[in-house]
């Protein structure tokens, strides 16, 4: 598969992930401030599902990336490998990435998705903001590769 095609796939996957992050972030922030936000409840539920699936699968890739220490991860899209490596690096950068997602693990963050506890919801908002930052930085690379030929 060409690197252009991989970049396009990665870009689309990242855009879908960012849409889920934004939908759930907005919904959660509104709920935390006392607004019911019923019109976005279904979309937020779908976003929770997408994020839970992503984080559960991503944790396995992150574990492989930590064990491989820079080596290739067989059977995993190279752009997803790079995102996992960026995540591992970001975990060490406590000044920029200090949410539960980066101080604990993606699977522990999945538990926040279902919680209705206010403290957990605030931790979820922080984790989603950090994940958005990581994914947006990843998208920049994909965008540069896609637009390179234009």
Q: Residues with Cβ < 8 Å from 21, sequence gap 6 or more? A: 47, 51, 128, 131, 132, 135
Tell me how long the chain is.
150
Report the helix count and the strand count for the chain, using DSSP H and E. 6, 0
Tell me which residue has tokens 């006392």. 34
Q: What residue spans define the domains of the chain?
A: 3-147
Q: What is the pTM of this model?
A: 0.90
pLDDT in tens, the chain (150 residues): 567 777 788 889 999 999 999 999 999 999 999 998 899 999 999 999 999 999 999 999 999 988 887 777 778 888 899 999 999 999 999 999 999 999 999 999 999 999 999 999 999 999 999 999 999 999 988 777 777 766
């Amino acid at each position: 598969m060409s690197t252009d095609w991989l970049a396009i796939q990665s870009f689309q996957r990242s855009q879908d992930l960012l849409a889920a992050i934004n939908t759930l972030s907005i919904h959660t922030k509104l709920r935390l401030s006392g607004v019911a936000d019923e019109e976005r409840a279904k979309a937020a539920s779908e976003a929770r599902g997408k994020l839970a699936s992503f984080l559960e699968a991503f944790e396995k890739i992150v574990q492989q990336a930590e064990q491989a220490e820079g080596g290739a991860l067989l059977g995993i899209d190279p752009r997803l490998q790079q995102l996992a490596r960026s995540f591992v690096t970001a975990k060490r950068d406590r000044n920029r990435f200090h949410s539960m997602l980066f101080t604990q693990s993606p699977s522990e963050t999945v538990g926040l998705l279902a919680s209705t506890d206010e403290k957990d919801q605030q931790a979820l908002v922080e984790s989603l903001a950090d994940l958005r930052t990581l994914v947006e930085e990843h998208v920049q690379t994909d965008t540069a590769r896609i637009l390179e030929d234009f």
